[in-house]
Amino acid sequence: MAEYDYDLFTIGAGSGGVRASRVAAGHGARVAVAEDHRVGGTCVIRGCVPKKLLTYAAHFRQDFEDAAGYGWTVGEPTFSWPALIEAKDREIARLEGIYRSLLSQSGVTCVDGRAVVVDPHTVEVGGRRITARHVLVATGGWPVRPDFPGAQWCITSNEAFALPELPRRVLIVGGGYIAVEFAGIFRGLGSTVTLAYRGDQVLRGFDDDVRAHLAGELVKHGIDLRLHAAPESIERLADGTLRATLRTAAGLEPHDVDAVMLATGRAPATRGLGLAEAGVALDEEGGVVVDDHGTSSVPSIHAVGDVTNRVALTPVAIREGAALSATLFGQRPTTVDHATIPHAVFSDPPIGAVGLTEGQARAISDAVTVHKASFRPLKATLSGREQKTLMKLVVDADTQRVLGAHMVGPDAPEIIQGIAIAVKARLTKAQFDETVAIHPTAAEEFVTMR
């Protein structure tokens, strides 16, 4: 009789947990995964995928407007939020079905319910205790809700995907990627949008030129950007209107809106999992502290993805999950290189970036050369749209290695994915310059910048 019920018990069926479970099963391990919501996790169910679908929808308004400059006569377009949400829900249900099928085909047992760690080798789901040689925590992250009067009337990104109707007026609180992405979505679909952020510029941690450029484009797009502004209180009026009071440098400002969305960050979803009680070390935000292989302070308990509070990106979680299973069950100790990871913000316009920002590079060395270009996209010349693209390369002046690449403009994420290969490969500015451009494209600017 086996010493344990399973070789691996995974808590959380998101991208990282699913990949780790499938790879472990492929190595011959007996694997089960518990999920208390829907299989697919944040990315598939309430994050990357539905957000990108809503972003596509939001861009059609601009496409209709731009068409006139190219000789098209388009009638007055109409938009149905319920129709969009219904279509989005169908696609998410389809993807969830695929994830469940993949787990089943891989020989992984799915356990519906919330799993809690009892001890280093035991979890409990719905009153049933299950033992495992290894336990993997892959519960992801959860939106942070600030505590202020009336905060209960606010929504987060979780609820934004299921609103019964499109709010006519929206206040978004926050300045990170979720805040600027939903500002673009709601504005593109026709809402009046106010974006309030307590800091001096949106997208803290991104390159300063990128931050300033995007802020200007958000304002051009009709978003009321309020910096150094934070919610003081929210009152629900008799007609359902929300009266949000912002504290600004000029004093208190009332804003009457139909919805207030909190996009004030995400925290590791470890509350109530029994980890600390089992001896697992957590950081100040509740993230599971792990070594390079994904193992916690308890040798039999591991963690991957957002719950580790390292790099909160779906492809990173997937790689961490695969690496952990290769280490535990494939006799091939594997680590994930968290340096030079490309990332994108699906704002309007979108951002793509990889490598060091200018500030990060200059903090390491004074020998830094910066190459920048700002231009009007070719499409905008006939459409008449007031839009500018920004591209930037950060270069080590001594070795000429390209340390970072940044872009704000149409197709930025698609373009940066290719540039990321060159940056990861430690190519030099000279090698960029030797590459023949594809003309006319925006991407060619990365190999013609002087």
The set of catalytic residues is 439
**Which phi and psi (to 5°) does residue 299 adopt?**
-55, -30
Instruction: Report the candidate in 178, 194, 187 with the shortest Cα–Cα distance to residue 143.
Output: 178
Q: Find how far residue 68's CA is from the centre of its chain.
A: 34
User: At which residue do the structure tokens 């190999």 appear?
Assistant: 447
What distance in Å separates the CA atoms of residue 412 and residue 355, rounded to the nearest whole number? 15
327, 8 contact by CB (below 8 A): no
Cα 97 from chain centre: 22
Q: Are 16 and 138 in contact (CB under 8 A)?
A: yes
SS3 51: helix
C-alpha 407, offset from chain centre: 17
Measured in whole angstroms, the distance separating CA 258 from the mean position of its chain's CA atoms is: 25
Q: What is the dihedral of CA 160, 58, 190, 88, to 10 degrees?
A: -40
Q: How far apart are CA 259 and CA 281, in angstroms?
A: 38
Cα gap 184→87, rounded to integer Å: 20
Do 213 and 221 touch, CB atoms closer than 8 A?
A: no
SS3 388: coil
Contact (Cβ atoms closer than 8 angstroms) between residue 404 and residue 207: yes
All residues at 6 or more sequence positions from 76 whose CB lies less than 8 Å from its CB, including other chains: none
**376 vs 180, 215, 254, 384, CA distance in Å?**
22, 17, 37, 10
